[in-house]
Amino acid sequence: MALLNGMSPLLSLLIIGSLHLASTERPMKKTLVFPVATDTSYVELMPQKDLSIASFTLCMQLATELAKGKREIILFAYRTEQFDELNVWRESDGTYQMFMQSSKNGVSFNLPELNTIQTHLCLTWESQTGMAAFYVNGKRSLRKLYKMGHRVLPGGRVILGQDPDSLLGNFDINQSFVGEITDVNMWDYVLSTAMIRDLNDGKWVPRGNIFDWETINMKLNGNVTLFSEDL
């Protein structure tokens, strides 16, 4: 490295550091592809902290060709031994529902239908007021009240692709997710409407402190492909 002769050691280090970054740290966009309906394929997401939370924002980008009227689809499942702590569904009638702690009654929203083009979907909830809202491509739904004073309990597992009726088990092929999922991020607080709009626009927002898609640790099981492309 004759180029570096005469430079201060610190400057040399900085140059080597940035060369290294340029060659190996190209930003890649990763997408999970669930090509077929199964009762075996799923992806477990490893949270950065316990899901012991009194509020959250959950965001993901989804594409599916399972049109409404066909069947229900699980979009997100967090389950402990005892309970479905936090499940998000696209129901067969096309509504979206969140359920907490295996309750029979979820909170239901009418949103634009998912389709073959990616939809940016977020869900926020806050125990103190019970306020829940969805965001579709950065635009907020009306707010509804659900489970005021409740707390999501730790000790479970988070999966995409299947609805577990026991811890990581008892999957139903007719509830499985088929399509693409990317950009799964979760925070243990409610992001503002402006931040969710910025996130949808690709602007900077604080990284998810429960799930951060850029650094997320996942375990793929069955027929799921992790597709990576250059940004």
Ligand X SMILES: *[C@@H]1O[C@H](CO)[C@@H](O)[C@H](O)[C@H]1NC(C)=O
Residues lying near ligand X in the complex (CB under 6 A): 35-36, 172-174, 223
Binding partner at 212 among ligand X, Ca ion, none, C-beta below 5 to 8 Å by kind: none
Tell me the Cα Rg of the chain: 20
Which one of Ca ion, ligand X, none interacts with residue 198, CB within 5 to 8 A by kind?
A: none
For the chain, how many helices (H) and strands (E)?
2, 15
Contact 135, 125 (CB under 8 A): no
> At its nearest, how many Å lie between Ca ion and the CB of residue 144?
24
**Is position 91 an interface residue for Ca ion (rule: CB under 5 A)?**
no
Q: Shortest gap between Cβ of 101 and ligand X (angstroms)?
A: 25
Name the residue nearer to ligand X (CB basis): 153 or 224. Answer: 224
163 binds, options Ca ion, ligand X, none, Cβ within 5 to 8 A by partner type: Ca ion
172 binds Ca ion (CB under 5 A): yes
Nearest to ligand X of 128, 174 (CB atom) = 174
* 72 near Ca ion, rule: CB under 5 A: no
Contacts of 180 (CB under 8 A, 6+ apart): 31, 32, 33, 34, 61, 62, 63, 64, 118
Decide which of ligand X, Ca ion, none touches 112; Cβ closer than 5 to 8 Å per partner kind: none
Closest to Ca ion by CB, 91 vs 172, is 172
Q: Look-up: residue for tokens 């009306």?
A: 142
Task: Please spell the DSSP secondary structure of 44-63, one letter per residue.
Answer: EEE-SS---BSEEEEEEEEE
- Bridge partners (DSSP) of residue 131 are 126, 145
Which residues are registered as beta bridge partners of 44? Answer: 159, 219
110, amino acid identity: N
- Nearest approach in angstroms of CB 171 to Ca ion is 7
User: Does residue 163 interact with Ca ion by CB under 5 A?
Assistant: yes
Contacting positions for Ca ion (CB under 5 A): 163, 165, 172
